[in-house]
Structure 1
Amino acid sequence: MSDSDSDANAGEQLTVVLPDGSELAVDDGATVEDCAYEIGPGLGSDTVAGKLDGDLVAKEAPAYDGAELEIITEGSDESLRVMRHSASHCLAQAVERLYDEETVKLAIGPPTDEGFYYDFDNLDIDESDLRDLEAEIEEIIAADYEIEREDVSIEEAEERLADEPYKLELLEELADDGQQVTFYKQGEWEDLCAGPHVESTGEIGVVKLLEIAGAYWRGDEENEMQTRIYGTAFEDESDLEDFIERKEEAEKRDHRKIGSEMNLFSIQDVTGPGLPLYHPPGKTVLKELEDFVEDLNQDAGYDYVETPHVFKTDLWHRSGHYENYADDMFIFDVGDDEFGLKPMNCPGHAAIFQDQSWSYRDLPIRYAENGKVYRKEQRGELSGLSRVWAFTIDDGHLFIRPDQIEQEVEEIMDMITDVLETFDLEYEMALATRPEKSVGSDDIWEHAEEQLENVLEKRNLEYEVEEGDGAFYGPKIDFAFEDAIGRAWDGPTVQLDFNMPDRFDLSYVGEDNEEHEPVMIHRALYGSYERFFMMLIEHYEGRFPLWLAPEQVRVLPISDANLGYAHRVANEFDDFRAEVDGRDSTLERKIRAAHDDRVPYQIIVGDNEEEAGNISVRDRFEDQEYDVEIAAFRSHLEGEVDEQRTEPDFLQD
């Protein structure tokens, strides 16, 4: 570069946009940290990292003109993520110190929402080795190594990583961009990494290694199975203790464990991964959930339809799923035709609408289906009912006139809030906008997003904007709710779609006798039965409300002499799911068994009850009332079920 070019560039500036909307002019080539110092010296010295257009970057990363800039300082969620990323490097350094560095191969080690992990190949390790690794990590932290960032050329990086095949594979992708790459070094150890990291290992708080698991390289089951070590890190010991307590509570509520204990479902090798089998108790709960939604749909004017599990892929080409979703579909050939298991129900509903002629007077048309769909998740990502290959959506699709958008979206939102409030769930809403991979014009997307925003604003609802998180065919309003231990879950959704009606040439005859294109709305009140069922199992710890419980009442005869009366009492509750425990066992063992089986109510009958013609009632809180009239208890159960109360409350009346 000539001296004149240098002088010219020295005066050039760029502008970044700060979170409050104001603009900051800085010299061209300024880093995130430089920008922070321009705002104020205190902020500059406190800078841990930054965000450029929402992406977390190192404080050494260069800013660019027009970027939205956020400075990350200590104490924020993002700074905790930075520290955890550095903790993952300490884990890898500890592994290479304690195991054969030439044999063990490094893969990736990112931070996660709850901690971090690092994947290794050729690492022979089990849970008993984690304590030694933790001790080595503590030594690395105590040594307070400076974490140095270095920009190197692709060629030099290849030399440094000559013995690391997985890093070289990552490097090949970066080399396609012809850019430099960054290494981070601490003590004798270094890693190819984009960062960001804390300034030294001494800035890492407390680290706890959690478990060892298998993971396929790049999440592809065709690749090698590697050893993944999970860990977490916090600023101080008290935060770690709180996390461990929450983790233990979550493990106690694990739906896979409770599902087995309560005989709700199983996932067996004979069916294949991610394909749950629902046992009678589990199907009982699902049927109650289905009936609840069907009542809401009936009141809202939905007609039920049914579509097949398999369609020719012509349908998926037409809907846009093939080009956007083929990698996640199960696709196979039958003769000369290609078929696919349906990943969504909406194209089938569009085909049903297309099969008839419609007038503007007919709209809105509302279709509902408890439709089974199939998604080809990676085997390593499958987990109980939370991620499966086959799941059922309480799907609804509406075909409406543009002037009906606001009213229909509001009515759907009322249905969703009815569901969430029935289960006493706290929830938040988000407006998800156009993703990078999508179909449709800019004008269509802008109009659709504006319509949903208008509904939220009109109802004065608080919501977040989730940029780029919409469906590929349209924006949506997502509902997220919290369970009993504060975990957030994705749930119901309402999605506006101006694209599929165009792809299927859907139309109705308007008041002007001309053909018009309807608007399509996608909605689900639970999200999917599987994930919602999973959440309910963990939320209630298997102790379902009376109306959902697989077994609602268990009658316990004190002795065999009372068995006949126990059955007569059970017959008085034939409108409920009532069983008699007629085993030759003590009353104490029967009570304990009913409690362990999470039955909401126990009816205890002995000589006194039989002589008086009444019952004793015990609830799951181990409260008991004597001399209860059968008719009075039955009347209470009817009210508790009809009102869908979340807890048994007979003995709290």
Structure 2
Amino acid sequence: MSESEPESEADPDAEGIVVVLPDGSELAVDADATVEDCAYEIGPGLGRDTVAGKLDGDLVAKEEPAYDGAELEIITDQSDEFVRVMRHSASHCLAQAVERHYDDVDLAIGPPTDEGFYYDFDNLDIDEDDLPELEAEMEAIIDDDYEIEREEVSIEDAEERLADEPYKLELLEELAEESDTVTFYSQGEWEDLCAGPHVDSTGEIGAVKLLEIAGAYWRGDEENTMQTRIYGTAFEDESDLEAFLERKEEAEERDHRKIGNEMNLFSIQDVTGPGLPLYHPPGKTILKELEDFVEALNQDAGYDYVETPHVFKTDLWHRSGHYENYQDDMFVFDVGDDEFGLKPMNCPGHAAIFQDQSWSYRDLPIRYAENGKVYRKEQRGELSGLSRVWAFTIDDGHLFVRPDQIEEEVERIIEMIFTVLETFDLDYEVSLATRPEKSVGSDEIWERAESTLESVLEESKMDYEIEAGDGAFYGPKIDFGFEDAIGRVWDGPTVQLDFNMPERFDLSYVGEDNEEHRPVMIHRGIYGSYERFFMVLIEHYEGKFPFWLAPEQVRVLPISDDNLGYAHQVANEFDAFRVEVDDRDSTLERKIRAAHDDRVPYQIIVGDNEEEDETIAVRDRFEDQEYDVEIDAFREHLDAERDEKRTEPDFLQD
């Protein structure tokens, strides 16, 4: 193919297809046109610059055939997705480097990720001290600027090429069920079974860095072989890589597992099982404050608290649709002739409570709330601190409303969510998640639910993204993502509209016409889950919690043992707060350093002068200090700082 022309001349007699471009315009091309051919039809410059494409949102190789009606986006080195394509090629460089240095290694998979890439290997004996050597080999492969060539081959040919690669052969068996051919990508002496896409040559890969080694089960199934996973990242230039490594280092300093251990907040122990956190007294203190806060919001919004058991007969889950759609993620067991399951969600229990009595249209909306513990059987390799666990608590709410009440109730829930965002000083992202492939309910119900939520978002004038296919199996949802202090986004509050659960539980109310009508169910979480929200707060604040949340709010430091009696007297003046006296035989400097390291918002220092004047010296976590402070004045300030839920200690900033 020349630099300025597509691979083949258009055949005017061939049957054509039409693709839809990002601006909504349509492009007519030959029936056998590839993504690259379409790019050349738009313009020769775009054709030459094409790296890959997106067909209906799926990232594909530029050689991929287009199809009639497809939404087409051309990917160049100026596109956001270019880095993902480049990282995929970097993962191939990693595998090539490994096979150059180690014999008899079996290749598994090597995809790009949001922050880099990884490749999984079997029969690889390696540790992190070996990564610099592999990284240097990758850089040599990049410098050699091998052309990355794509080849489409038959299944039979592929089987011969992969005769010594058991994991690739397993993948090939699945691919053979869908197509008679597969694609290989080669660079220099090395090749791999891969769908792509990739950059044109290894020289187009920018700055690379290998990060760590971990274990990973083949296909994510703990019944399978544990393989060696090598993580890396790649950026277009060295400055972007350096910025990423700085962010990564800061993220490691903020890691909630590290801070949780330092502050004695929680533990996850082998003796209790994976993904089952134990909250220590300081951690439970924070959780209790979070519970009290959301309970006050619920009380103001007219919610009634209910409680449901941890275990139900699976009859309930069959009825709700969870058994059919969620069984693989449930803990299920037999008791006698009955099958039971730990609840993965609270909503069916709340529907059963609503079903247990008769309702009039005048009674609605009915709002139930529960801090409900739920259980989901995540793969062990996916468990991580508090961010992904087996047992977690949702600040759950379920509303049963008339259709004419939907928009008002969703708006009120969003107001509650904004109260949380403002209180904790969190930025956010919003998305509307639409119908997934695996779902229950009619097209009409889903269209109605999605249009209602979209209408609320439009009227609120919030910026939001459409997350196609990311809804719950029973209905679409509005999702809020918490953005923390270093720009990472975590799953947070959600509002989900559900026309299906009321049908499955035959829920009804008597309308103004004396006829039975079906209520609409709204699912909502203000935090999302306590575990993940706690994790976000630990990392967002780096353990330096606002005064009202801090497990220890004030520490009294006597300068000497002679001042110990006065220190306890002062502590009693602040008994409305969480206050401790440091009575250790240690220097004042060490006591100050310990309080700082323990992230205590305020220190009260008392010595002979303070005792004589019946005053205190106050020091905050910013290491500012004020002397001759009146006890009553400081106590009044702490009352206000706690009640107003200020995010930083500010007595010495007044």
Task: Output the TM-score relative to the length of structure 1.
Answer: 0.98
In the other structure, the counterpart of 1:415 is: 416
Q: Is the 8 A contact 1:9 1:28 kept in 2?
A: no
Residues 8 and 140 (structure 1), Cα distance of their counterparts in 2 relative to 1, 3 Å cut: closer
2:254 pairs with 1:230: no
In the other structure, the counterpart of 1:157 is: 158
In structure 1, what is the Cα distance between the partners aligned to 2:57 and 2:329?
27
In structure 1, what is the Cα distance between the partners aligned to 2:197 and 2:458?
37
In structure 1, what is the Cα distance between the partners aligned to 2:560 and 2:299?
47
Gaps of 5+ in 2: 1-8
Q: Is the 8 A contact 2:11 2:30 kept in 1?
A: no
SS class of match (1:493): strand
Spell out, residue by residue over 1:586-615, the C-alpha distance to the aligned partner (whole angstroms, 9 max, x if none). Answer: 000000000000000000000000000000
In the other structure, the counterpart of 1:86 is: 89
Matches within 5 A, 1:284-299: 284-299=285-300
The amino acid of 2:614's aligned partner reads: G
The amino acid of 2:124's aligned partner reads: L
1:374 to partner: Cα distance:
0.3
In structure 2, what is the Cα distance between the partners aligned to 1:341 and 1:83?
43
1:43 to partner: Cα distance:
1.2
> Which segment is superposed worse, 480-489 or 219-228?
480-489
2:650 pairs with 1:617: no
In structure 1, what is the Cα distance between the partners aligned to 2:482 and 2:49?
34
1:7 to partner: Cα distance:
12
1:73 to partner: Cα distance:
1.1
1:77 to partner: Cα distance:
2.4
In structure 2, what is the Cα distance between the partners aligned to 1:453 and 1:204?
40
SS class of match (2:368): strand
In the other structure, the counterpart of 1:556 is: 557
In structure 1, what is the Cα distance between the partners aligned to 2:299 and 2:84?
47
In the other structure, the counterpart of 2:246 is: 245
The amino acid of 1:336's aligned partner reads: D
In the other structure, the counterpart of 1:259 is: 260
SS class of match (2:543): coil
SS class of match (2:393): strand
1:76 to partner: Cα distance:
2.6
In structure 1, what is the Cα distance between the partners aligned to 2:408 and 2:10?
62
SS class of match (1:383): coil
The number of residue pairs the alignment matches comes to 646
In the other structure, the counterpart of 1:16 is: 19
Runs of 4+ in 1 over 3 A off after TM superposition: 6-10
SS class of match (1:554): strand
1:321 to partner: Cα distance:
0.2
In structure 2, what is the Cα distance between the partners aligned to 1:435 and 1:110?
23
1:381 to partner: Cα distance:
0.4
1:11 to partner: Cα distance:
2.1
In structure 2, what is the Cα distance between the partners aligned to 1:7 and 1:446?
40
2:399 pairs with 1:387: no
In structure 2, what is the Cα distance between the partners aligned to 1:421 and 1:7?
58
In structure 2, what is the Cα distance between the partners aligned to 1:534 and 1:158?
47
In structure 1, what is the Cα distance between the partners aligned to 2:108 and 2:12?
40
2:654 pairs with 1:648: no
Spell out, residue by residue over 1:29-73, the C-alpha distance to the aligned partner (whole angstroms, 9 max, x if none). Answer: 111111111111111111111100000001111100000001111
Matches within 5 A, 1:482-497: 482-497=483-498
SS class of match (2:405): helix
In structure 1, what is the Cα distance between the partners aligned to 2:75 and 2:10?
33
The amino acid of 1:152's aligned partner reads: V
Spell out, residue by residue over 1:307-364, the C-alpha distance to the aligned partner (whole angstroms, 9 max, x if none). Answer: 0000000000000000000000000000000000000000000000000000001000
In the other structure, the counterpart of 1:510 is: 511
SS class of match (2:397): strand
1:75 to partner: Cα distance:
3.1
In structure 2, what is the Cα distance between the partners aligned to 1:644 and 1:40?
58
The amino acid of 2:585's aligned partner reads: D
Matches within 5 A, 1:269-280: 269-280=270-281
Spell out, residue by residue over 1:477-518, the C-alpha distance to the aligned partner (whole angstroms, 9 max, x if none). Answer: 011121000111110000000000000000000000000000
Q: Is the 8 A contact 2:98 2:134 kept in 1?
A: yes
2:477 pairs with 1:441: no
In structure 1, what is the Cα distance between the partners aligned to 2:228 and 2:386?
24
Residues 457 and 635 (structure 1), Cα distance of their counterparts in 2 relative to 1, 3 Å cut: same
The amino acid of 2:549's aligned partner reads: L
The amino acid of 2:109's aligned partner reads: I
In the other structure, the counterpart of 1:364 is: 365
Matches within 5 A, 1:185-204: 185-204=186-205
SS class of match (1:77): coil
SS class of match (1:392): strand
In structure 2, what is the Cα distance between the partners aligned to 1:452 and 1:636?
43
In structure 1, what is the Cα distance between the partners aligned to 2:59 and 2:29?
20
The amino acid of 1:268's aligned partner reads: Q
Q: Is the 8 A contact 2:10 2:30 kept in 1?
A: no
In structure 1, what is the Cα distance between the partners aligned to 2:511 and 2:12?
61
In the other structure, the counterpart of 2:121 is: 120
Q: Is the 8 A contact 2:39 2:46 kept in 1?
A: yes
SS class of match (1:75): coil
1:574 to partner: Cα distance:
0.4
The amino acid of 2:458's aligned partner reads: E
In the other structure, the counterpart of 1:460 is: 461
SS class of match (2:164): coil
In structure 2, what is the Cα distance between the partners aligned to 1:588 and 1:544?
23
> Which segment is superposed worse, 43-52 or 342-351?
43-52
In the other structure, the counterpart of 1:607 is: 608
In the other structure, the counterpart of 2:51 is: 48
In the other structure, the counterpart of 2:542 is: 541
In the other structure, the counterpart of 1:76 is: 79
Spell out, residue by residue over 1:416-462, the C-alpha distance to the aligned partner (whole angstroms, 9 max, x if none). Answer: 01101111111121111100000000000000001111111112222
In the other structure, the counterpart of 1:268 is: 269
1:206 to partner: Cα distance:
1.0
The amino acid of 1:312's aligned partner reads: K
In structure 1, what is the Cα distance between the partners aligned to 2:13 and 2:374?
59
In structure 1, what is the Cα distance between the partners aligned to 2:528 and 2:314?
25
The amino acid of 1:90's aligned partner reads: C
Spell out, residue by residue over 1:495-544, the C-alpha distance to the aligned partner (whole angstroms, 9 max, x if none). Answer: 00000000000000000000000000000000000000001000000000
In structure 1, what is the Cα distance between the partners aligned to 2:560 and 2:392?
45
The amino acid of 2:94's aligned partner reads: L
In the other structure, the counterpart of 1:132 is: 133
2:319 pairs with 1:324: no
In structure 2, what is the Cα distance between the partners aligned to 1:160 and 1:633?
76
In the other structure, the counterpart of 2:636 is: 635
1:625 to partner: Cα distance:
0.3
In the other structure, the counterpart of 2:476 is: 475
1:10 to partner: Cα distance:
4.5
SS class of match (1:283): helix
In the other structure, the counterpart of 2:175 is: 174
Instruction: Name which of 54, 57, 60 aligns with 1:57.
Output: 60
In structure 1, what is the Cα distance between the partners aligned to 2:460 and 2:86?
40
In structure 2, what is the Cα distance between the partners aligned to 1:59 and 1:622?
58
SS class of match (1:486): coil
Spell out, residue by residue over 1:147-169, the C-alpha distance to the aligned partner (whole angstroms, 9 max, x if none). Answer: 00000011110110010000000
SS class of match (1:388): coil
> Which segment is superposed worse, 90-99 or 8-17?
8-17
Spell out, residue by residue over 1:250-305, the C-alpha distance to the aligned partner (whole angstroms, 9 max, x if none). Answer: 00000000000000000001100000000000000000000000000000000000
Matches within 5 A, 1:425-436: 425-436=426-437
SS class of match (2:286): helix
In structure 1, what is the Cα distance between the partners aligned to 2:412 and 2:35?
46
1:9 to partner: Cα distance:
8.8
Q: Is the 8 A contact 1:10 1:27 kept in 2?
A: no
1:179 to partner: Cα distance:
2.9
Spell out, residue by residue over 1:202-252, the C-alpha distance to the aligned partner (whole angstroms, 9 max, x if none). Answer: 111111000000000000000000000000001111101000000000000
The amino acid of 1:500's aligned partner reads: M
2:322 pairs with 1:333: no
The amino acid of 2:513's aligned partner reads: D
In structure 1, what is the Cα distance between the partners aligned to 2:175 and 2:234?
29
